[in-house]
Structure 1
Amino acid sequence: MSQSKSEVTQQRIIRGAAQVIRREGLQACTHRAVAQEAGVSLGTTTYQFRTLDDLLGAVMQLAIAEFRESTRRWLEHNTSGATEEILTRFVMWTLSERSRLNTEYELFVAAVSRPLLRSCAMHWLHVHEALLEELLRLSPEKSRAAVSFIDAWLMRGILDAPETVLAEDLIRNVFAAIVKGPDS
């Protein structure tokens, strides 16, 4: 099924906004900057996305879809070892994707000060939890704890210097406690 001209334009604008955020940060994401990046007029950008929050919500939905796809693919190809080992390797792999990770977390954290983005941020968490439930067979409670722990380490990884060495044994041990602990 082919997309309409309007849908193609929307996708150009969304991807343009994602590029602006990836390159210059969320603070640089304005309708004007996105229009220039996407190669469309400012009026087209504001017609397609009346508010910046509307645009950021669409960028978040794109990031969630890409996160779901890449995480599913990674988990499906990394099934060997204990669950806590898989989760530890997942943290390390995600940290190696620093540019993508920085963009994702900048969007995710924007939901703290932009209430209209909170439902997108919560959806992102639920997508991650559902993947762990499905592919690693974790209970909803353990999946929630694992995602919370993953997010804490990823945020720390973003803030630390890139050459900082993480305590993989500690990460693995905490994941083991989550995986082997009682269900709530």
Structure 2
Amino acid sequence: MAAPKQTEKGERRRALLVAAAAELLAESGFDAIRHRAVAERAGVPLAATTYYFSSLEDLVSAALDRLAHTELADAHDCLARRDDPAEIVLDLLLGPRSRTDGLDAVLGRFERLIGSGRRPFLAGLLRAQRVEFDALLDEALTRATGRRPGPGEVRRLTALVDGVVLTALIEADPDPRAVGRKALHEVLESLPRV
């Protein structure tokens, strides 16, 4: 089915649906994105979800893209405000909601990342987002150390923080962000500085 011609009202309605789906994704994961739930959250008729999106996969993709762009915008704002680079790295790896919502936000983030692997239609979108996230991680690490990270350094740091946080989740640590922060600070202290 061809995409409907977008009017101003149609663009607003589609944006409401994407925002509602992104909220549901952030709060409860992929399984929460259902036509009826998204329409109810957006305050629009149920038929709008199938009118503006060719499939549930299309809606899920739009929600994930919106959520990632919101998180990237938050990280850009933190960089512009000169926030602590380590906290920016944690926001990028664990999601900015992990600052305020703690364990639930971190669990949701990891569930979303792992759940993405079961949705091959998201692979291209996730690869593109990873490039943007890595560029911001590179910038935050540059600010933290005074030098550009070497080849593979961003990915190694990501793997380390992801690993210690996942272990903290397995061990039911109530503050996985604090565990990630500790590991990150240890690594940052060991990196050469300019």
TM range (shorter): 0.7 to 0.9
1:172 corresponds in structure 2 to 185
Q: Which amino acid aligns with 1:44?
A: A
Aligned residue among 130, 136, 142 for 2:135: 130
Q: What is the rounded CA distance, in whole Å, between the counterparts of 2:82 and 2:166 in structure 1? A: 23
2:174 corresponds in structure 1 to 162
Residues 30-69 of structure 1: matches in 2 within 5 Å? Answer: 30-69=34-73
Report the TM-score, using the length of structure 2 for normalisation.
0.70
1:91 corresponds in structure 2 to 90
Q: What is the rounded CA distance, in whole Å, between the counterparts of 1:55 and 1:22 in structure 2? A: 14
2:160 corresponds in structure 1 to 149
Deviations 1:37-78 (A, max 9, x none): 111122110121122221111111111211111112223334
2:17 corresponds in structure 1 to 13
The number of residue pairs the alignment matches comes to 173
Q: What is the rounded CA distance, in whole Å, between the counterparts of 2:100 and 2:36 in structure 1? A: 28
2:145 corresponds in structure 1 to none
* C-alpha deviation, 1:8, in angstroms: 1.1
Q: What is the rounded CA distance, in whole Å, between the counterparts of 1:28 and 1:8 in structure 2? A: 22
Identity of aligned residues (%): 22
CA pair 144-172 structure 1, distance change in 2 beyond 3 A: same
**Mind listing any 5+ residue stretches in structure 1 that lack a counterpart?**
81-85
In terms of mean alpha carbon deviation, does 59-68 or 23-32 score higher?
A: 23-32
Instruction: Return the structure number with greater relative CO, CA threshold 8 A, min gap 6.
Output: 1
Aligned residue among 93, 98, 113 for 1:108: 113
Q: What is the rounded CA distance, in whole Å, between the counterparts of 2:117 and 2:180 in structure 1? A: 29
Q: What is the rounded CA distance, in whole Å, between the counterparts of 2:99 and 2:169 in structure 1? A: 10
In terms of mean alpha carbon deviation, does 140-149 or 58-67 score higher?
A: 140-149
In terms of mean alpha carbon deviation, does 168-177 or 6-15 score higher?
A: 168-177
Q: What is the rounded CA distance, in whole Å, between the counterparts of 2:12 and 2:108 in structure 1? A: 23
Which secondary structure state, in structure 1, belongs to the residue aligned with residue 117 of structure 2? Answer: helix
